[in-house]
Amino acid sequence: MLIKKINIKDTPFPSELVRDYIESEKLNSFFSYKNQLDNYKKIIKKRSSFPLKKRDLLYNVLKSQYNGISDIGLVLDSIEKLKNKNTFTVTTGHQLCLNTGPLYFIYKILHTIKLCVELSKTYKEFNFIPVFWMASEDHDFEEIKYFETYSNKYQIASNDDDSCTGKIKPLHVTKILEEINKNFEGKPFKNDIYDLFASSYSKNLSLAESTRKIIHTLFKDYGLVIIDADDKEFKKSFKKYFIDEVENFSTKSFVSETNKKLTELYRNKIKIQVNPRDLNLFYINNKKRHRLTFLNGKYHLLGSNISYKKDEIIYKIKNNSEELSPNVILRPLYQEYLLPNLSYVGGNAEISYWLQLKSLFNYHKISFPILVVRNSFVLLNRREVESIKKYNMDITDFLDSRDSFLRKIIKNNIENDISLENEKNIIKNLNEDLIKKIADIDANLKTSIKSIEAKQISLMNLLEKKIIKSQKVKVKGIINTLEKIYNKIYPDGLFQERKINFSEFYSYKGKELIDIIYQSTSPFDNSINIVEI
Q: What is the pLDDT of residues 149-183, one digit of tens each?
A: 999 999 999 987 778 899 999 999 999 999 999 99
Domain membership of residue 442 (yes or no) is yes
pLDDT band at 253 (very low <50, low <70, confident <90, very high): very high
Per-residue pLDDT, 417:
58
Domain membership of residue 423 (yes or no) is yes
- Cα distance between residue 123 and residue 131, in whole Å: 18
H runs (alpha helix) in 66-172:
75-81, 104-122, 141-144
Domain membership of residue 332 (yes or no) is no
Lowest mean pLDDT among 225-234, 397-406, 467-476: 467-476
Secondary structure E strands in 262-312: 281-285, 288-295, 298-301, 307-308
Per-residue pLDDT, 98:
98
Q: What is the pLDDT of residues 366-417, one digit of tens each?
A: 999 999 999 999 999 999 999 999 999 999 999 999 999 998 998 888 766 5
Mean pLDDT of the chain: 93
In this structure, are residues 258 and 359 in contact, taking their beta carbons and an 8 Å threshold? Answer: yes
Number of domains into which the chain is organized? 1
Domain membership of residue 431 (yes or no) is yes
What Rg do the C-alpha atoms of the chain give, in angstroms?
Answer: 27
Domain membership of residue 438 (yes or no) is yes
Quick one: the chain helix, strand, coil %, rounded to 5?
55, 15, 30
Q: What is the pLDDT of residues 276-303, one digit of tens each?
A: 999 999 998 877 889 999 999 999 999 8
- Backbone phi and psi for residue 295, each to the nearest 5 degrees, phi listed first: -150, 130
Domain membership of residue 461 (yes or no) is yes
pLDDT band at 262 (very low <50, low <70, confident <90, very high): very high
Q: Is the pLDDT of residue 28 over 80?
A: yes
Length of the chain: 533
Q: Which domain holds residue 429?
A: 415-474
- Give mean pLDDT, residues 474-503: 94
Domain membership of residue 445 (yes or no) is yes
Q: Are strands 153-155 and 146-148 parallel, antiparallel or unpaired?
A: antiparallel
- Give mean pLDDT, residues 489-503: 97
Q: What is the pLDDT of residues 482-493, one digit of tens each?
A: 999 999 999 999
Beta-bridge partner residues of 294: 299
Per-residue pLDDT, 325:
95
Q: Is the pLDDT of residue 88 over 90?
A: yes
Domain membership of residue 147 (yes or no) is no
- Give mean pLDDT, residues 426-432: 85
